[in-house]
A and B are shown apart, each in its own frame.
Chain A
């Protein structure tokens, strides 16, 4: 069945992402929906490399590369300058990884959305510092191995719920999306495009290299994350109106964890504990959505 997404591509072939890179897939679908009337602010992340080293570039849209923690602030300045120049037709987009969003860039992001800056902030989430070689972030899920949570000291803290943190700022639009559900992703980008103020998209982006999985199951893992409520697809408007886009009847998480090398140390007991956490988070989300 052909995908119902726009034909036009804004990425050149031959970029330098790893095979199966979810971040590259995320950008491809995002741009298809977004079009070319944009300026991308790109704080340090895997995409700093994928976008190409001077004098090459893999994108067909302008990019301002910038420092790690400045996704929210640089975009604010770009927006201010464009508005002063009368250019209100260009959309300003920050494209950042989970490190630049959940951790080091959180302050600038919080500041920008508190001011309700008119821009779209996309966090492509590969659940660790992948560009520097798989170090834990506050987005790394409970139970994961990384190079800084090695061996028996695998991560025992839960993943920060970034969407809820953004929702708490009462921004006009916040949503999750996945590379395994491109039509849903495209719809959300198109919706965000037409809204004014701060818009936040949290995009699940598999990392075969860091998650220790074969590249050919990159999309499969992303699909399972949604189907098993590890990464639910939902939208929140104005900080209050929740819409859940996908509701599975049953959602055993075991298989998702078993397929990934980063979780191979987990015991059946650990997995049972994780299932409880996923159940609990899902219940909470249902309550917020009034479902």
Chain B
């Protein structure tokens, strides 16, 4: 049924329909609406789950480690400082091979205090062994929660469903909320590969010597790799039932494109409009949206970007001393191509600053006109820059 929902509500609807058994969370703006909706569902019995209202994000994820170890479907949600506080247990979750799903609302890290959209919180967690899926709109968020559970439970790794603060979490859009019966067909009850109970003598996550540790990590690496293929199969199944498909990446008007802009999250929606307008003006430009960030689908991205002459990557994040994080990853994926396109890295929209159509168009023209490849990140829309322009 079509409903007009904000992104947070779409997440909560998906969690309800996924028949999650244990939820644990701690409030942080802009994630709060998600856990408020879920509190209502649990309170009125719409969702038969246990909701632990714990005293910190660290305890939120740790309590799910306990619950998931007992073989039930689990959910949490966080953002920014809260996600950073979870960091230790994020590693633990993947190492313990627990299929926990989290909705992560991208918000800037302090100081200064900033509650608005910025991807550095989730991208800082890229080495924790969590699968990361970035979403563009409300429907995608809802659908991705279902995909996330299927994927997590298939490969025994946790999954983060990631959405921009406010631009997605608090924006109302028409969303098709499927019937429970359809969701049950796609996502049956969780059948855990292992679980602790009093009759099952096991020791989970014990001390592991150098004789075994490396093999454990290698198994994780294989599961992570396998998740690209698994996701493809799961998505096929999803599209057969629901008629929607996203893919690990989505090329948009990329055929014959000489310049391809690369985006993730809500910047993608704005970029679609810009690309279309530029196409109408006869520019050979395309757009590549990256949804799956971990594991990074290097081969698929190489194929999609390889034919272009120039690539412009837009990062709503910055790794100090290195640059935009999507740019780093794309560069690493492309570097062994014999005829590698020129890659430009743009930084835009940090701390929730608008990434407007004008700014995106500006990025396109800059990229087109650049004769020399700049290895450095190009910060877009800085106020100092504007002042400098005014002075000259």
A39 near B: Cβ within 8 Å? yes
| Cβ of B388 under 8 Å from chain A | no
Q: Are B206 and A77 in contact (CB under 8 A)?
A: no
Contact B21 A76 (CB under 8 A): no
Instruction: State how many angstroms separate the Cβ of A61 from the closest Cβ of chain B.
Output: 7
Q: What 1/0 flags go to B287-324 for Cβ under 8 Å of A?
A: 00000000000000000000000000000000000000
Contacts of B88 in A (CB 8 A): 67
Give Cα A84 to B54, complex, Å.
18
Which residues of chain B from 25 to 72 have a CB within 8 Å of any chain A CB? 49-50, 52-56, 58-60, 62-72
Residue pair A78, B70 in contact (C-beta under 8 Å): yes
Q: Total interface residues on B, using CB and 8 Å?
A: 42
A256, B203: Cα distance in complex, Å: 38
- From 54 to 93 in chain A, residues with beta carbon under 8 angstroms from any chain B beta carbon are 54-55, 57, 59-67, 69-70, 72-85, 87, 89-90
B207 touches A48 (CB 8 A): yes
Would B66 and A107 count as touching, CB distance under 8 A? no
A64 in contact with B208 given A80-B50, A108-B62 (CB within 8 Å) = no
Tell me the complex Cα distance, A76–B54, Å: 9
Contact pick for B55, options A41, A81, A108, CB 8 Å:
A108
Q: Given A39-B197, A53-B208, A90-B197, do A74 and B65 touch, yes or no (CB 8 Å)?
A: yes
Partner of B66, one of A38, A59, A75: A75
B11 interfacial by beta-carbon distance below 8 Å:
no
A108 touches B67 (CB 8 A): no
From A63, A67, A70, A82, give the contact of B206 (CB < 8 A).
A63
CA distance A62 to B49 in the complex (A): 25
CB pair B62 A66 closer than 8 Å: yes
Give complex CA distance A290, B329 in Å. Answer: 68
Chain B contact residues, majority secondary structure: mixed
Minimal beta-carbon separation of A191 from chain B (angstroms): 20
Give every chain A residue within 8 A of B63 (Cβ-Cβ).
73-74, 76-77, 80
* Cα distance, A265 to B89, chains bound together (Å): 41
A156 within 8 A of B: no
A152, CB-defined interface residue at 8 Å: no
Interface residue from A70, A87, A107 paired with B197 (Cβ < 8 Å): A87
Are A66 and B203 interface neighbours, CB within 8 A? no
B246 within 8 A of A: no
Q: Does A239 contact B (CB under 8 A)?
A: no
> Which residues of B are found within 8 Å of A80, using beta-carbon distances?
22, 24, 50, 52, 63, 66-67
Complexed CA–CA distance, A37 and B200 (Å): 10
Please judge, given known A-B contacts A87-B197, A114-B55, whether A81 and B206 are in contact too, CB under 8 Å.
no
B198 and A73 contact, CB distance less than 8 A: no
* Chain A residues within 8 Å of B49, by CB: 84
Among residues of B, the one whose C-beta sits closest to the C-beta of A65 is: B205
B59 touches A76 (CB 8 A): yes
Q: Is the CB of A39 within 8 A of B196?
A: yes
- Chain A, Cβ-Cβ closest to B89: A67
A187 within 8 Å of B (CB atoms): no
Is A214 positioned at the interface, with any CB of B under 8 Å from its CB? no
CA distance A39 to B68 in the complex (A): 14
Q: Which residues from chain A contact B67 at a C-beta distance below 8 Å?
A: 77-78, 80-81
B66 lies within 8 A of A85 (CB) = no
Across-interface contacts of B65 in A (CB, < 8 A): 64, 66, 70, 74, 77
Residue B201 CB within 8 A of the other chain: yes
| Interface: B370 (CB within 8 A) | no
> Which of B53, B66, B198 meets A41, CB within 8 Å?
B66
A252 contacts chain B at the CB level, 8 A cutoff = no
Q: Does A241 contact B (CB under 8 A)?
A: no
Give the distance to chain B from A24, nearest Cβ to Cβ, in Å.
Answer: 16
Is residue B229 contacting chain A, with contact meaning CB distance below 8 A? no
A238 proximal to B (CB < 8 A): no
Contact of A69 among B21, B24, B58, B70 (CB under 8 A): B58
- Residue numbers in B under 8 Å from A41 (CB-CB): 66
User: Is the beta-carbon distance between B54 and A63 smaller than 8 angstroms?
Assistant: no
Decide: A111 and B198 in contact? CB cutoff 8 A: no
Q: Which residues of B are found within 8 Å of A260, using beta-carbon distances?
A: none
A84 touches B198 (CB 8 A): no
Whole-angstrom distance between the Cβ of B279 and the nearest chain A Cβ: 51
**Contacts known (A77-B64, A77-B65, A107-B56); A51 close to B198, Cβ less than 8 A:** no
Tell me the B residues contacting A by CB distance below 8 Å.
Answer: 21-22, 24, 49-50, 52-56, 58-60, 62-72, 74, 88-89, 92, 196-198, 200-209, 212
**9 A-B pairs closest in CB distance:** A77-B66, A111-B55, A77-B63, A81-B70, A73-B59, A77-B67, A74-B66, A73-B62, A70-B62
Can you identify 21 A-B contacts, CB atoms within 8 angstroms? A39-B196, A39-B197, A51-B203, A52-B203, A62-B198, A62-B204, A64-B205, A65-B205, A66-B92, A67-B88, A73-B54, A76-B24, A76-B66, A77-B22, A77-B70, A78-B66, A82-B70, A87-B198, A108-B58, A110-B55, A111-B55
Given A62-B203, A108-B55: 14 more A-B contacts, CB < 8 Å: A54-B207, A59-B203, A61-B201, A63-B202, A63-B204, A64-B65, A65-B204, A67-B88, A67-B89, A74-B63, A80-B67, A89-B198, A115-B52, A115-B53
